[in-house]
Structure formats: structure tokens, C-alpha cells
Amino acid sequence: MLGNFTYCNPTRLHFGEQALEQLAGELKHYGGRVLLAYGGGSIKKNGLYDKVTAILKACGKEVFEVPGVMPNPTVEKLYEGCRVARENNVDLILAVGGGSVCDYAKAVSVSAWCQEDPWDKYFLRMEDVSNPIIPVGCVLTMVGTGSEMNGGAVITHPAQKRKIGHVFGSNVMPRFSILDPTLTYTVPMEQMVAGIYDAFNHICEQYFSGEDDNTTDYIAEGLMRSLVASSRIALRQPENYEARSNIMWAATWALNTLLAMGKSTDWEVHMIGQSIGAYTNATHGMTLSAVSLAYYRYIMADGLAKFGRFAVNVWGIDPAGKSAEALAEAGLAAMERWMEELGVARNIRQLGVTEDMLEGIADGAFLMTGGYRTLTRNDVLNILKASM
Amino acid sequence: MLGNFTYCNPTRLHFGEQALEQLAGELKHYGGRVLLAYGGGSIKKNGLYDKVTAILKACGKEVFEVPGVMPNPTVEKLYEGCRVARENNVDLILAVGGGSVCDYAKAVSVSAWCQEDPWDKYFLRMEDVSNPIIPVGCVLTMVGTGSEMNGGAVITHPAQKRKIGHVFGSNVMPRFSILDPTLTYTVPMEQMVAGIYDAFNHICEQYFSGEDDNTTDYIAEGLMRSLVASSRIALRQPENYEARSNIMWAATWALNTLLAMGKSTDWEVHMIGQSIGAYTNATHGMTLSAVSLAYYRYIMADGLAKFGRFAVNVWGIDPAGKSAEALAEAGLAAMERWMEELGVARNIRQLGVTEDMLEGIADGAFLMTGGYRTLTRNDVLNILKASM
């Protein structure tokens, strides 16, 4: 049954090959002081930095920069961005990069004017925002996290070995996002497939909850089928516009809150994956793929009907003559074959996890209650061992 | 290929059995003068009018009313609402009813402060809005049109025999909508099934365009499958909350602009159906169902691959051993059987269309260019004759 909910997602998305042309129109709505956040410098090599700064200049903006936002943005980097935003009293934060940069921009947007330590308030204590929020816009260069159309931000505290995400409300969602699939062509193959699996797992985390026949789950199945079909084309032809644009669009809808409406949602794979990320700094999507199969096989019996539905509706498996268990396992086996095709990580050892980390990773993994089974810390340890 | 587009849908939806409790919170954002628009009085019989006016009163609002909004709102009724809105300088229009009342509220919202005749400017000439817009909120009591989360409004000019819809931008979309599935329980069965078919056809109108493998089409297939599954439950158990809530949610997403993103879209069934509506005042969903089969069979050869995909992905038909034509026809035959189950109109004679109206109906049907075939007026006449 669809539970009660409120849905609101006001982000304005400009999608397509000429989407960057819409940036100037968006910038008109904000004051003259813009904080430009970006990553390791790939946008300087591929010319995007020059294009964006030319548009900012033509719009008469004064630009302040936070370069070097890392793949798993740290709390120290968050403090730096807050300082720059505050000292320059910026009117807009423009993220140019992948999900980490977008996440980072949103974290700065809620933290810059926070009177307390934002790590404590927003990530450890998960409080609501009670201070002014700086608007955020995104120019997306990498696909997967869905950060371009949601209120989420994940920040890592290396000293505390914690990587924590907070999903803020619609007032923290980007005011606008520029989605040009051709900007994702230069992403290395490993990042592309990690992003595809990240998006796929976002859908799984929401789909594998509840017992009934929600409209939301039918949408989820459509998105998964589209992702699988397009990923197979993109593996062979990374510059196939149709495939890359479908992947980009599916990834946005995979995590813009729609698929969670009326559902309890799981998110345990993300909790375990994030804890692995805190210990290894591994690519987010790979931390998810490395534990997914062990996790889903661990809980399969608790959500057998849904795993069977997954087999039939997502992977096209004929249920005739199969037991419920065999059907459910056939769906996961089909997912496993697809993950092999993608070449995503399927064990945590290859991400740099060693035996001595397992206890700590288990400690860092929140135990979620919305999926088919609420794990214990010992269950998490079992899953980690099965993922080694 | 997904074409370039901008997506923005800021409507805040409150969904579920207690959704009306959210009305007071929404009302806080607007001034004290509210125009309440509603239909023929069923909300007075079932107690909803009392509940809504009690909330308005508790929030200190001064309420002005436009009762009697008819199923196909007329231009004269539009002028009346504009007068009331203007004379009382209202801050918000609150629609309580089905899609017609929501459409009407949006039409008044753009027309009240229009310096010209709004029928000429917004419906005959389809111009953009250049005057102040009065915000709209909706409490939905009937499912189908999707009006609760889009910028569309359809108005009928009986003297001119024209029923015309204008899809306005995101600034005309309702600011908020209250969606409580239990409020739809009292709708007569005939209205329920007409609404279900209306929603289904909205998906078809967007799905049956383009040649490729868009993410959008996968979402469309999921929504169609959900609608079919839930409708079969609702036919037997009209007060099955799960079924009615899924139908309500699917209908919202069927026409809130998502399924049109990156697609050319068709809408010819709506154009013919609306012209029938101008001549007969028949229920909107029934005008669509009455011409759909004739239309899709008329154009099937022009979009054969998509009709085949429809057969497989929506109706679960096994393509093995079937020619492309046989597969496509099998999909339409499955749709026809479902329409029989629903009991929706499958010919236009039962809607009151007579032979002498056909030329006029054909004159009133716009010829759209986004589908698999651009019809001529003669094609429309053929389809009308095949629908008799």
C-alpha cells in the first residue's frame, strides 16, 4: 500500500546537448557573487571550466572558487567551502562536476551559515536546517548519484572513519541542474560503470521494500530495464548519445525521491558501502556493487515474492516450473551476469578491504529498518565476510 | 533519442488518507482572500465542502465561491470566475473537485487579470501568459486528467463548437494538491472507469511517438501496467485503498509532463475526443475510449515496432512466431479486451454522435504532427466513421 507522503521536487532540469546554453538564463535569478565548486581539474583539461567561467563573466558575476573537491568530500573540505562562502557572502553555489561536487555544494549551502559545527548538527545528529540556505545550481559531468535533483549530501570524516549522508528537504535541492550527456563522455569507463551500478542500486534500495503492488514499483522496474538496456550499448559505444542520455535520465529519476514515495525503503547496501568508503576511499558505486550480491542473497528469503517479481519483470525470466526460491535466485544470478558485463567490483578485497577492517566497517554501518530484514551488527559482519 | 528539454514541476503533492490535514499548512503561504471553485454540489452531499470551509475559516480566510463548475467548463463560466476573482482581488483559487474544476481554476488563474478576451488570447491564439497569475491549489476528488500536477486547462466554447486545451508552463501548475484516494470512492463507477481510461490514454499519447528506446518509454510502460493491474482490482472492489491509491498516483504521473520529456508526443486521440466533447458534452474519458481503437488501428502500420513493443511490455504477449503486424494487433486486441472489462465507450454513437455531426467534429479536431502519422481531415473522418 502506498503510505501517506508529501512529494515536491522543484529542481529545474535543462537536459540535452545544448543544455549549457540555459545557464545564463538561470544565473539571472541570483545575485552577483558566485562560489564555483569543482573537482580535481578534469574540467580544466576538457574545456568545461573555460566555458562555464566565460558564461559567469558574461553575466557579470564575481566568481570565488573551491577547487579540489574530492570524490568522497571530507569534513575539512566542507569547512573550507563554508569559510569561502561566508567570507565572500556568496549568492549562489555553482557545482561543476559529478555527484560528489553536487553533494558538496549542498553540504556547504546548509552549513555556511550554521552557528554550530555542521558535521555534528547535520551529519551526526541529522537535524533539520534552521539557518539560511545558499541556493545551489549544478552542471553535471558524471552520472550516478542523482545528486542533481535531490536534497542529499554525503560527507566523510576520515579521522572518525565515518561517511554519512543526510537527505535534506526540497528547499536544499538544487534550484537548477544542467544535464548534457555529452559532458559525461570523457568519464573513464570505470567511473561510468560505477555510476551505472550506483543508480541501479538506488532503485533496488527503494524497490526491495514493502509487500504489495505499488505504482512506484512499476516505475522502478521500468527504470531498471532501461538502465540495463542502455548500459549494454554504452559498454560497447561509450559515445552513443542515446544510451548515455537514457542512463543520465534514468539515474536522475532513480534518486530524486519519486521511487521512495509511499514506501519504507531499505538503504542497507548504502550503509555498508558508505562505511567501506570511510575505510578505503573506494569509488562509491564499487562499494555498493561489492556487497550487493552477498546482501541480497542474505535477505532473499525475507522478501521472496519481491525477488521473484524482480526476476520476471526486470530480467524477463520465465517463472514456469520454478520454485519461489529458484525464481528469486535466477533474478539475482541475472543481475550478477550483468554486473560481470559491467565489470564492477564484486568483492570488497579488491577495494582494499582487509580482514582487520571488518569489525570497524560493521561498527560504521547504520542498521536500517525499512527493508525486508533489519540486520544485526553480526549480520553485517557475515555479509562483509561473504563479500571478501 | 531523448531530445533537448527543460523539466520543472514544482507542485507540492500531499498524498494519502489524511492528506487534507495538510491544507491548513499550505494556506499559510497565501493572503486572506480565497476563491473556492467546485462542481455540481456532490462535495456538499459527501461532507467535503464542510470540511474544507471549516479549514478555511480556521485559517482566517475570507471565502468567495464559484459553484457549479461543469464537467466541460465553458467560456461563459470562465468569464464568471474571472469576474469574481477580480472583483474580490483573491489571493488564491482553491479547486475542490475533479479535473474539470482544477482545469477551470487554472484557466481563471491566468485569465482573471488578462486585458484581452482570454478565450481569444489563451485558447484560440495559444499565447504565453503575460499578466499576473493567481496561485491555484487543488483538493482532488476524481482521478484521470492529471490536472492536479500540470499546467493544462481545457475550456469549451459551445457556440463556436470548440473545446480547446492550453498547456501553460510550470508557473501555472497548482502550487499544491491534496490527493486523498478515499475522496474518490464516491465517484460513480462510470466516472471511475472513464478517468482510468483517460489516464491510460494520456500515457499512450506520449508513448506512441518516436522510434527509439527512451527511458521515458520504460516509465510509461510501468505506469500502464500498474493502471491495468489496479483497475482490475478496483472494478471488483471500488473501495480497495491500494488499488485506488495506485490509480490516483499513476494518473498524476501520466500527465505531469514527465512522459513527454524528450519526445514529440501524439495527442491526436485527444484532439478528436475534444471535438466530440464540443458536440456532445460527453464525458472526456469516454470520448477518448470511443475513438482510440479505430485511431490506433488506422495508424498501426506507421508505428509497427512500437505497437509490437506495447504488446510485449505492457500486455505480456509472447512475440514468438508472430509477424510484426500480428504482434502489434495482438497488443491492441488485449487493450480492447481490457476496455471491455472496464466498460468504457467503444463507439461514438453511444455518446450521442450522429452522422450529421461528423463533418463538424472533423473540422474541430486539430491535426497534430508528433505521432506516427500526421492525419488529414479526411483521415479524421475515416476514423470517426470507423468509430460509429
Q: What is the DSSP string of B5-36?
A: EEEEEEEEEEESTTGGGGHHHHHTTS-SEEEE
Q: Do A249 and B242 touch (CB under 8 A)?
A: no
CA gap B122, B108 in Å, rounded: 11
Smallest Cβ–Cβ distance between A246 and the set B2, B12, B16 belongs to B2
Relative orientation angle of helices A215-236 and A324-342, to the nearest 10 degrees? 40
Separation in Å, CA of A16 to nearest CA in chain B: 4
Question: Which amino acid would we find at residue B376?
Answer: T
CB A155 within 8 Å of CB A109: no
Q: For A120, how many CA atoms within 13 A lie in the half-sphere containing its CB?
A: 4
Q: How far, in Å, are A325, B73, B133 from residue A322 at the CA level?
A: 8, 54, 59
The ipTM is 0.95
Q: Do B214 and A15 touch (CB under 8 A)?
A: no
Q: How far, in Å, are A36, A43, A191 from residue A186 at the CA level?
A: 21, 10, 10
C-alpha cell of A155?
560527507
Separation in Å, CA of A388 to nearest CA in chain B: 35
Smallest Cβ–Cβ distance between B13 and the set A8, A17, A230 belongs to A8
User: Which segments within A128-248 are labelled E, that is strand?
Assistant: 136-140, 152-157, 162-167, 176-179
Smallest Cβ–Cβ distance between A246 and the set B9, B22, B215 belongs to B215
Smallest Cβ–Cβ distance between A15 and the set B5, B230, B253 belongs to B5
Q: How far, in Å, are A183, A359, B129, B352 from residue B158 at the CA level?
A: 51, 75, 24, 16
Return the pLDDT at B1: 62
Interface of A with B (CB under 8 A): 1-19, 22, 170, 212-216, 218-223, 225-226, 229-230, 241-242, 245-246, 249-250, 253, 261-262
Q: Do B213 and A229 touch (CB under 8 A)?
A: yes
Among residues B105, B99, B100, B93, the alpha carbon closest in space to that of B146 is found at: B99
Separation in Å, CA of A277 to nearest CA in chain B: 30
- Mutate one of A20, A171, A207, A219 to test the B interface: name it (highest B CB count within 10 A): A219
| 3-class DSSP state of A9 | strand
| 3-class DSSP state of A179 | strand
Chain A CB contacts of B253 under 8 Å are: 215, 219
Q: Do A222 and B226 touch (CB under 8 A)?
A: no
| 3-class DSSP state of B313 | helix
Return the pLDDT at A3: 80
- Mutate one of B246, B256, B309 to test the A interface: name it (highest A CB count within 10 A): B246
Specify whether the backbone of B258 is left (phi greater than 0), alpha (psi in -120 to 50) or beta. Answer: alpha
Contacts of B321 (CB under 8 A, 6+ apart): none
Smallest Cβ–Cβ distance between B1 and the set A215, A229, A241 belongs to A241
Separation in Å, CA of B131 to nearest CA in chain A: 20
Chain A CB contacts of B15 under 8 Å are: 2, 4-7, 261-262
Q: Do B242 and A2 touch (CB under 8 A)?
A: yes
Return the pLDDT at A41: 85
C-alpha cell of A109?
549551502
Smallest Cβ–Cβ distance between A226 and the set B6, B18, B218 belongs to B218
For range A151-159, the mean pLDDT: 96
**pTM summary value:** 0.96
Q: Do B11 and A6 touch (CB under 8 A)?
A: no
Return the pLDDT at B2: 75
The total number of residues written for chain A in this structure: 388
* % of chain A with per-residue pLDDT over 90: 97
CA A185, A189, A192, A196 torsion-angle sign = positive
CB A168 within 8 Å of CB A110: yes
Residue A133's pLDDT band (cuts 50, 70, 90): very high
Q: Do A19 and B4 touch (CB under 8 A)?
A: yes
Q: Do A249 and B261 touch (CB under 8 A)?
A: yes
| 3-class DSSP state of A99 | helix
C-alpha cell of B17?
488518507
Q: Do A15 and B262 touch (CB under 8 A)?
A: yes
CA gap B97, B183 in Å, rounded: 10
Chain B CB contacts of A226 under 8 Å are: 213-215, 218-219
- What are the beta bridge partners of residue B176? B12, B137
Encode burial over B323-332: b for 16+ CB neighbours within 10 A, e otherwise. Answer: eeeebbbbbb
Return the pLDDT at B211: 82
Return the pLDDT at B227: 98
pLDDT along chain B (388 residues), means of 10: 89 97 98 97 94 98 98 96 98 97 98 98 97 98 97 96 94 98 95 98 97 91 98 97 97 97 96 96 96 98 98 97 98 98 98 98 97 98 98
Specify the DSSP element, H or E, that contains B178: strand B176-179
Smallest Cβ–Cβ distance between B246 and the set A8, A214, A226 belongs to A214
Q: How far, in Å, are A259, A316, B369 from residue B366 at the CA level?
A: 36, 40, 10
Return the pLDDT at A2: 75
Interface of B with A (CB under 8 A): 1-19, 22, 170, 212-216, 218-223, 225-226, 229-230, 241-242, 245-246, 249-250, 253, 261-262
Residue B137 φ then ψ, to 5°: -125, 155
* % of chain A with per-residue pLDDT over 70: 100
CA gap B311, B332 in Å, rounded: 7
Specify the DSSP element, H or E, that contains B92: strand B92-97
Does the structure show a pLDDT above 90 at A89?
A: yes
- Using CA coordinates, name the residue in chain B closest to A175: B8
Q: Do B7 and A12 touch (CB under 8 A)?
A: yes
Smallest Cβ–Cβ distance between A17 and the set B4, B219, B225 belongs to B4
Secondary-structure breakdown of chain A: helix, strand, coil percentages, each rounded to the nearest 5: 55, 15, 35
CA gap B83, B108 in Å, rounded: 9
Specify the DSSP element, H or E, that contains B378: helix B377-386
Residue A190 φ then ψ, to 5°: -60, -40
Q: Do B5 and A18 touch (CB under 8 A)?
A: no
Contacts of B221 (CB under 8 A, 6+ apart): A222, B207, B310, B313, B314
- Using CA coordinates, name the residue in chain A closest to B222: A218
Return the pLDDT at A124: 96
Strands A136-140, A152-157: parallel, antiparallel or unpaired by DSSP? unpaired
CA gap B191, B240 in Å, rounded: 16
- Mutate one of B219, B230, B242 to test the A interface: name it (highest A CB count within 10 A): B219
Return the pLDDT at B62: 98
C-alpha cell of A19?
543544455
Does the structure show a pLDDT above 70 at A1?
A: no
Q: Do A219 and B219 touch (CB under 8 A)?
A: yes
Among residues A164, A163, A100, A157, the alpha carbon closest in space to that of A127 is found at: A164
Q: Largest Cα–Cα distance of chain A, in whole Å? A: 68
| 3-class DSSP state of A95 | strand
Q: How far, in Å, are A309, B307, B309 from residue B317 at the CA level?
A: 17, 12, 9
Smallest Cβ–Cβ distance between B218 and the set A1, A15, A223 belongs to A223
Please, what is the Cα angle at B305 between B299 and B307, to 5 degrees? 55
Q: Do B222 and A226 touch (CB under 8 A)?
A: no
Among residues B255, B150, B241, the alpha carbon closest in space to that of B199 is found at: B255
- Using CA coordinates, name the residue in chain B closest to A233: B213
Among residues A144, A173, A11, A177, the alpha carbon closest in space to that of A71 is found at: A144
Q: Largest Cα–Cα distance of chain B, in whole Å? A: 68
| Per-residue pLDDT tens over the stretch A198-238 | 999 999 999 999 988 899 999 999 999 999 999 999 999 99
| Per-residue pLDDT tens over the stretch A38-82 | 999 899 999 999 999 999 999 999 999 999 999 999 999 999 999
Q: Do B9 and A5 touch (CB under 8 A)?
A: no
Q: Do A226 and B213 touch (CB under 8 A)?
A: yes
CA gap A251, A285 in Å, rounded: 12
Please, what is the Cα angle at A249 between A248 and A255, to 5 degrees? 95
Strands B92-97, B33-38: parallel, antiparallel or unpaired by DSSP? parallel
| 3-class DSSP state of B54 | helix
Specify whether the backbone of B297 is left (phi greater than 0), alpha (psi in -120 to 50) or beta. Answer: alpha
